[in-house]
């Protein structure tokens, strides 16, 4: 084995990653397993939606900030219009974000929504409209985070591009000045 082989980077925030996945997996697992062990729709609805709501909150307010440096929220302005607000780290900090943390964040965000869609299809096939309601609520929460973070990520990429341009420009000007004056 080559001694110079680079070992893969570890998760920078393993606890945050754990909780980022925990409530997603908890909501999905409880919903799937409840069909086997629980015969009360109200309990299934309440616990599954509670776990999905906890996931929504953790992703939106904690893991989004820590794992990818993004935060979003929606406000209603004085005229009653919905206004999306985005917050991201500065370009330099975003460029240094841990790739594994980021990968875990984005993949679990999209895979969870895909899993809820599949479960919704199963509910349709089985003609269980009540369970389709549970899936609809959980899918809505997942999609809200996807839309919010995707919009925020586009804004962040613009900030990183601006930071890169500014950094390259300033370092280019600095090196030109240094070479011109022999510094």
Q: Which residues contact 76 (CB under 8 A, 6 or more apart)?
A: 82, 83
Model confidence pLDDT, tens digit, residues 99-157? 888 888 999 999 999 999 999 999 899 888 889 999 999 999 999 999 888 888 776 55
What pLDDT score was predicted for residue 5? 43
What pLDDT score was predicted for residue 6? 43
* pTM given for the model: 0.74
C-alpha distances (whole Å) from 11 to each of 22, 47, 70, 105, 130 are: 16, 30, 17, 11, 39
Average pLDDT value for the chain: 81
What pLDDT score was predicted for residue 1? 45
What pLDDT score was predicted for residue 2? 45
More confident of the two residues 6 and 132: 132
Task: Name residue, tokens 């440096």.
Answer: 69
- Give, as one character, the DSSP assignment of residue 59: I
Q: Which residues contact 44 (CB under 8 A, 6 or more apart)?
A: 30, 31, 34, 38, 131, 134
What's the CA gap between 164 and 91, in Å, rounded?
7
- Say whether pLDDT at 86 is over 70: yes
């Amino acid at each position: 084995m080559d001694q110079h082989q680079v070992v893969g980077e570890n998760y920078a925030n393993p606890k945050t990653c754990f909780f980022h996945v925990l409530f997603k997996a908890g909501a999905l697992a409880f919903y799937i397993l409840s069909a086997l062990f629980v015969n009360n729709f109200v309990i299934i609805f309440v616990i599954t939606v509670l776990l999905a709501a906890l996931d929504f909150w953790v992703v939106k307010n904690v893991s989004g900030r820590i794992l990818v440096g993004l935060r979003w929220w929606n406000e209603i302005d004085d005229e009653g219009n919905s206004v999306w607000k985005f917050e991201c780290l500065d370009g330099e900090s975003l460029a240094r974000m841990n790739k594994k943390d980021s990968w875990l964040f984005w993949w679990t965000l999209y895979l969870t929504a895909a899993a809820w869609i599949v479960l919704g299809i199963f509910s349709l096939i089985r003609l269980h409209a009540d369970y389709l309601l549970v899936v609809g609520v959980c899918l809505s929460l997942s999609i809200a985070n996807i839309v919010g973070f995707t919009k925020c990520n586009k804004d962040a990429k613009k900030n990183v591009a601006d930071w890169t341009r500014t950094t390259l420009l300033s370092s280019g000007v600095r090196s030109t000045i240094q070479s011109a004056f022999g510094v």
